[in-house]
Structure 1
């Protein structure tokens, strides 16, 4: 839970996971509240309606969690389910309030969380619109169920409307300001740590992560890779096409190495680095061969015709002891791969003999 809270400060995805967990919690609380009120309300239609609402909620939240955990963050279904969450919350809130006491429902505070959730995506204006819709919806429910005649209940009703407005107004400002500040900070950090062309991490990030890997991780792997004959690509097809090659290779590395198992870097020029946080030579070899083969099979189209490129790799395991010369050692392995004919992977003490394919 602590890790989730920390990530929620840095990631919209983690924040959605947190909101999803709260939905399940409030669904359970709703069931408890409704069950305690059964003695006062034995209307069969109300019970059936509540069960139907719970069943729908379980199905919706199950589907939402599936998209949250199984679908890429940039996919359409992921965006629909996450950004559409507040709409489901709004309808569910009104139904639950109507079924658990109307203006006296103990579930009313859920409305505050809905406003805060809306702030994540639609900022201050979204918060105010959401607050307005909640005020209207809540008022309609109270009027349909019978406006309270007791003065204390009337004061409680109007107070809740005021609270909704204040949460939308002040909460919208505070949350929006913090989200904007965070996004600006993240953008600056991204600019400082990422290579603008390939989208991979840059050389500075590589040096920082390598130091952490040597100090904190056991049996990781360091890889240096270089595009074979890249100068010929620039000379024959121009630097714009050369940049496209670099971007494509960066994308291949990013897509092939799972985030939890490693990171890719643009080391400099046409040279790349990869840190694999795995204690498995076979898995390391699997990732590198996958990258190598994907690059080989990628065809670039130009006005002068089509072409493909290959890469050479050097790889060494990072031991637990601090090795200040590890980059130099891996660079020698990469040089050895070049000397052996390029388009191959050379490990420390082990040469994977592969015929270069051009």
Structure 2
């Protein structure tokens, strides 16, 4: 989550709350609740100041200010009008929203908001104000028809904030999980799978299948490319080769096995040698543009069809041995038999 996204969302929330304050101020005038009318004035000021705090990226101060004021606003409205109007319901949305905000602060590497302690504080205020009303009664006795309307209105607002923030929190968590999964499974340079992913993928493959194949590929004389053109050029070669592999072998799982080595796995391709030969020729005939020139690249590939009940380690070893047979016998070739 970026600061820009957090600011955009917070601007929207602040605007919605400010509009609610104006609407509730009009309602307090209608029910003739003088204290709440006057209390609405500093409340408006609080949310106007909120825009400044958001603009200055002082979100931790903004959150503390808003939570303290909402708690105060909720308790004052409950004490003045009674809990039949539903203002105390805001407590039930504030606690989960606080935890969602705590997670957002963590993602933005901002100060902890102490959500646990704040939750206990909100609970205490809720018990005090509703307990007072239960024992003493509200300060203003007003029309109960309006109470029913506002119970529904406040419940809708509370559920709206709950749904919005929980949905936002879940999306953030899912996004974080996807990024972690990508970091754990995908090579950052080539955007291919990494060795860890491929080992797990091969472990899942049926040991009884004799139609699956793997292929171990290696860029020929890659060290010479780095020495001649530089490591930046070497990285570009790896990126371009990886994109070519994904284009030609779209039905294969492809992993950067290490350095300039790649491992292919397929359970769908009927002719692995033909596919690998197509890839080899494509790379051989497509030099990689670099600065004012071109870098010629070739690859050598070893293919291994899985034998019945063959272990994954032996399967990979077989492909690796065929690869190095090709490396030691001319390079730029596809090897199926040693």
TM-score, length basis structure 2: 0.51
Deviations 1:88-140 (A, max 9, x none): xxxxxxxxxxxxxxxxxxxxxxxxxxxxxxxxxxxxxxxxxxxxxxxxxxxxx
2:319 aligned with 1:330: yes
Q: In the alignment, is the contact (CA less than 8 A) between 2:240 and 2:288 conserved in 1?
A: no
Q: 1:303 to 1:262 in 2, by over 3 A?
A: closer
Secondary structure of 2:175's match? helix
Q: In the alignment, is the contact (CA less than 8 A) between 1:195 and 1:266 conserved in 2?
A: yes
Higher radius of gyration, 1 or 2: 2
2:249 aligned with 1:268: no
> How far did residue 335 of structure 1 move?
1.4
Moved over 6 A (4+): 161-164
2:299 aligned with 1:307: no
Q: 1:342 to 1:169 in 2, by over 3 A?
A: same
User: Higher relative contact order by CA 8 Å / sep ≥ 6: 1 or 2?
Assistant: 2
| Paired positions, count | 192
RMSD: 2.9
Q: In the alignment, is the contact (CA less than 8 A) between 1:266 and 1:273 conserved in 2?
A: yes
Residue 298 of structure 1, aligned match among 271, 286, 311:
286
Deviations 1:31-61 (A, max 9, x none): xxxxxxxxxxxxxxxxxxxxxxxxxxxxxxx
> How far did residue 169 of structure 1 move?
2.2
Partner of 2:217: 225
Q: In the alignment, is the contact (CA less than 8 A) between 1:219 and 1:320 conserved in 2?
A: no
Secondary structure of 1:314's match? strand
CA distance, structure 1, for counterparts of residue 275 and residue 156 of structure 2: 52
Q: In the alignment, is the contact (CA less than 8 A) between 2:283 and 2:299 conserved in 1?
A: yes
Secondary structure of 1:325's match? helix
Partner of 2:163: 171
CA distance, structure 1, for counterparts of residue 266 and residue 197 of structure 2: 14
> How far did residue 164 of structure 1 move?
6.5
Q: Which runs of 5+ in 1 are unaligned?
A: 1-154, 350-358
Secondary structure of 2:193's match? coil
> How far did residue 307 of structure 1 move?
2.0
2:176 aligned with 1:184: yes
CA distance, structure 1, for counterparts of residue 264 and residue 231 of structure 2: 24
Partner of 1:340: 329
> How far did residue 235 of structure 1 move?
0.8
Q: 1:291 to 1:162 in 2, by over 3 A?
A: farther
Residue 207 of structure 1, aligned match among 199, 202, 216:
199
2:281 aligned with 1:289: no
> How far did residue 278 of structure 1 move?
2.1
Q: In the alignment, is the contact (CA less than 8 A) between 1:215 and 1:320 conserved in 2?
A: yes
TM-score, length basis structure 1: 0.48
Secondary structure of 1:301's match? strand
Partner of 1:56: none
> How far did residue 248 of structure 1 move?
1.0
